[in-house]
Amino acid sequence: MLTPTLKPQRLLATCLLTLVTLLPTLATAEPVPFKATYKADYKGLPLSAKGTRELTKLDHNRYMLSSTATSFFASIVEQSVFQLDANNTAVPLEYQYHRKGIGKNRDAVLEFDWENMSVLNNVESKPWNMKIDLGVMDKLLYQYQMRADLKHAMLSKQPWPQLSYQIADGGRLKQYDFEILEEETISTNMGQIPTLKITRVREETSGRSTVFWLALNYDFMLVKFQQLKDDGSGFELLLLDAEFGGEKIVAD
């Protein structure tokens, strides 16, 4: 018995239907856990520091993104606990920031109450409450959402998306906008890693630049980060080693 041959038009329609069926699966795939360590270079200061970023799954639909920086003089810990909604968008639940060491210690805790559409910010025992809308992020979680937005665009073969996020910070909402610059291969302790270079759009008078280099082959995990002021001061992170999905990354 001969197998019927599909006409080209019908074959194309079948392929498109299959792709459309697969896209929701691609878009709603679980975040891949990772742990990465970085060398921190503070421009103009003889400080040796190490940074760590980690994404872990807490339970069925709760995750934690954490960022730590430690040196002989100080330590900074940031944590964002979040869940994913039906559109695979990160929804913040709690954000914590703790700084100890050089200068004044600082502790901040943000609790997101989505039932009442508000966020409670307890900073140094001076709490305040602010109304928010859907889509608002905390100061760490937007970096996860930026990676997720880029991953979705790449898997669905769409143009790079507009990267713009509202951040709850300091008792008000701040707009963080980003511009995709170019693809660039970064030399690391692990080898050469292809990245997408992205800069935060700031007013010309801000006197500060912020640039991310995100790994194209590892769900846009941070490879390099640079924040500099006009006077040359600032700091830079560069990837030392990483595990992605439980496997150690070995770059080319």
Residues 10-35, mean pLDDT to the nearest whole number: 50
pLDDT value at residue 24:
37
Nearest CA to 200 out of 247, 157, 250, 139 is that of 139
| pLDDT tier, 43 (very low <50, low <70, confident <90, very high otherwise) | low
Residue 2: predicted pLDDT: 36
CA distance 28 to 47: 41
109-141 burial code (b ≥16 CB/10 A, e <16): ebbbeeeeeebebeeeeeeeebebeeebbbbbb
pLDDT of residue 4: 38
Q: What is the pLDDT of residue 61?
A: 93
Q: What is the pLDDT of residues 51-67, one digit of tens each?
A: 999 999 999 899 999 99
The yes-or-no verdict on residue 10 having pLDDT over 80 is: no
Quickly state the pLDDT bin for 202 (edges 50, 70, 90): confident
Out of 39-43, 81-85, 158-162, 237-241, which region has the weakest mean confidence (pLDDT)? Answer: 39-43
Please state, rounded to an integer, the average pLDDT across all residues of the chain: 85
Higher-confidence residue: 105 or 93? 93
CA-angle at 204, arms to 213 and 226, nearest 5°: 25
What's the rounded mean pLDDT across residues 80-107? 91
Indicate whether 11 pLDDT > 70.
no
CB distance 147 to 198 below 8 Å: no
What's the pLDDT at 206?
75
Instruction: Give the residue extent of every domain in the chain.
Output: 34-248
Higher local confidence (pLDDT), 166 or 40: 166
DSSP 175-187: EEEEEEEEEEEEE
pLDDT given for residue 170 in this prediction: 81
Alpha-carbon distance of 219 to 245, in angstroms, equals 11
CB count in 10 Å sphere of residue 4: 6
Closest CA to 210 of 186, 234, 231: 234
* pTM: predicted TM-score of the whole model, two decimal places: 0.84
Q: pLDDT of 166-199, one tens digit each?
A: 999 888 899 999 999 999 999 998 999 999 999 9
- DSSP helix/strand/coil, 206: helix
Residue 147, pLDDT > 50, answer: yes
Cβ neighbors of 143 (< 8 A, separation 6 or more) are 65, 212, 222
Lowest mean pLDDT among 104-113, 150-159, 197-206: 197-206
What local confidence, expressed as pLDDT, does residue 22 receive?
34
Give the residue from 114, 149, 108, 143 showing the smallest Cα distance to 131: 114
Q: Averaged over 106-135, what is the pLDDT?
A: 89
Whether pLDDT at 244 is above 70: yes
Residue 66: exposure state from Cβ atoms within 10 A (0-12, 13-18, ≥19): middle
pLDDT of residue 21: 34
What is residue 36's predicted lDDT score, i.e. its pLDDT? 97
